[in-house]
A and B are shown apart, each in its own frame.
Chain A
Amino acid sequence: MNIYFDPEGSLAGLKDNIEKALKDGAGGLVILACEGNYFVPATLDPLLKTVGTPLIGGIFPNVLYCGEIYQYGSVVLGFAGLVSTTVIPELSSEKTSFEEPLENFEDRSSGARTMMVFVDGFSTRIAPFINSLFDIFGLEINYIGGGAGSLTSERKPCLFSNSGMIEDGAVIAMVETISGVGVAHGWQAMSEPMQATHTNGTELKTLDFEPAFDVYARIVTRHTGIPLQRNDFGNISKGYPFGIARINREMIVRDPLVVKPDGSFVCAGEIPQDSYISIMHGDENTLIAAAESASKMAVAALPSGKPGAFLLIDCISRLMFLKGHFKEELAMMTPVDCPSAGACTIGEIANSGNDFLEFYNKTAVVAAMEKI
């Protein structure tokens, strides 16, 4: 995996880096662009459509390059060898069948070792899509990716393909590059588990039969000693996500993004009806230690143990929570002196072939990529 970076986030800079990657022999491209670049279909589509080499990508709140965080800029990842890509449109529609297009894509993806997958982070059927992905592609490949989109929650085209920009979809690239993937978050349960007594997809309406916000506010207020007001929710919630327990595994984190007037939450990712969830908390130390652990897992999972580059998918809410400490997390994610790039995402997708594929929130994902 070769990395090309344009810190200005201009169309000309992106075009130059695409040309450089193709000149270096890339068989496929992954583009990670900042929301701050203001890329829109009217200006970007003509460029994307001229690229004959398979490409995917997305727009993210921030991109990461060699230990630094950028609000403007574009990363182009060039992958050698055969790369196949596909686009799944209308991810939120109940009418969209994932199985048929994914089966067709699998037929033309033999020999691939790593799947890069980006979804519109605000699509409502990410969980069934992830389940279909795992069902069809199984354990023989590594998965890495996450949710694209804007922190303003404004729905707009945020995914890239050779046909241009799309919204409410998924883009997938299968590459031959061998990878090792590590996943960890470092959040710990700080409340007793409560039952999600009324949910609807990503919406959590009631906890233990009470409006979810009332229960959440009571517990968080007790923990912080400061009464939680609705207008403070955005600042406080980044440090108090929800967690769904699993046996012998870290909890799956669910990030409450929005609180609605009726006291229900909209979360990044689905909350199963009747599941038990806890409120979680963490600090810089636990989060950064988890990121380091993800990196170690990734390197350990790499057959050669010697990465040529790191691809980092780190949740945007970790950046918002860690603030100045986030660079320490980035440093821990790339312990070896080799190039790294990535994005701050709205939800993370990862699996190293040892677990069921999940859509994570507030999680650090490291992919150690083999040198070619």
Chain B
Amino acid sequence: MNIQIELQVFYEIAMELGAEADLQKTAKKALSAYLHRLGCSAGMIMRIDLSSASAQTKNVITVPRNLDHNFAYREVSAIIRNAISINGIKPLSDSLPLVGTSCETNYYIMELKDFGLLLLLKNGAPFDRSILHGISRLNKKLAQACLASLYTDRLEATVQERTKDLQETNTKLKDTLSKVNMLSGLLPICAGCKKIRDEKGYWNQIEAYVRAHSQADFTHALCPICLKSFYPEYVDADGKLKPKSSS
């Protein structure tokens, strides 16, 4: 293999890495570049989340997207799943890159440090050591690009979540405010009967006016002075209600 072609190809792939902000686009663009330039037939980028007790795996992207009918892919997927479920991720990571052949298809399972795994399927001549070394160097950049996109995705998700919360709070606040009618300014009130003149010039009972211009309502009672004035027979000398007679 011409070393110059290898360098060209690795450079071209490197230029495709990390050019997108979100994880899905980053992974798709990178995987397409790998497959095109390295002459592969299919590939997958898998996220392995080690934050929980058991490693959680998730296919970030598979190109082509439906490989379920591909025997080599099914076999290699089973190898990965079994390795992780039986022994955890550590022994699998230690054994990478995992290289083999299934149904005349060469497969390569490689580490994307702190992110997950890269799977490449290739028909025809296998990669030699020099190419595998070059790919492993690229994979470090790919892993960093995926991690950066993952953090960006999380950050954007958090921003979206907080923005949504804020919008909801704002909506509630606006809703509440719309229900509060504040009386303000100078109200013309009759010095004698206490009626209030409205904007159309009509004189309104104070209860009617306040009811119409605010959320307040009235319940009627008598103050001690009025009670004494209107119902003196029910009030003692101190202005308190007399107790009811038993008869």
Contacts and interface: CB of A to CB of B under 8 A. Distances in A.
Given A140-B70, A248-B124, A356-B41, A134 B8 contact: no
A115 B124 CA distance: 23
B65 A136 contact: yes
A62 B115 CA distance: 52
A275 B125 CA distance: 23
Chain A binding site: helix, strand, loop or mixed by DSSP?
loop
Interface stretch (B31-39, B44-52, B173-181): B31-39
Contacts of B15: 273-274
Interface string A336-372: 0000000000000000011110100000000000000
A134 B64 contact: yes
A42 interface: no
Contacts of B21: none
A95 interface: no
B31 to A, nearest CB: 10
B32 A247 contact: no
Contact of A354 (B11, B41, B63): B41
Nearest to B43: A356
Interface in B61-91: 63-67, 69-70
A247 B4 CA distance: 11
15 contacts: A135-B64, A138-B42, A138-B65, A138-B70, A245-B5, A246-B9, A247-B1, A247-B9, A274-B11, A274-B15, A355-B39, A355-B123, A356-B35, A356-B39, A356-B40
A274 B19 CA distance: 13
Contacts of A355: 39-41, 123
Interface string B1-28: 1001110110110010000000000000
Name the residue among A274, A356, A358 with the largest chain B CB count within 10 angstroms.
Answer: A356
B203 interface: no
Interface string B95-134: 0000000000000000000000000000111010001000
Interface string A270-304: 00111110000000000000000000000000000
Given A247-B5, A275-B12, 10 more contacts: A131-B32, A135-B63, A136-B65, A137-B64, A138-B42, A138-B69, A245-B9, A246-B9, A276-B8, A355-B40
Interface string B170-212: 0000000000000000000000000000000000000000000
Nearest to A353: B41
B216 to A, nearest CB: 57
Given A138-B64, A247-B1, A355-B41, A272 B8 contact: no
A140 B40 CA distance: 15
B226 to A, nearest CB: 77
Contact of B12 (A134, A138, A139, A272): A272
Contacts of B125: 248
Nearest to A354: B123
Given A193-B4, A355-B41, A356-B40, A247 B127 contact: yes
Contacts of B9: 245-247
A246 B64 contact: no
Interface string A113-141: 00000000000000000010011111110
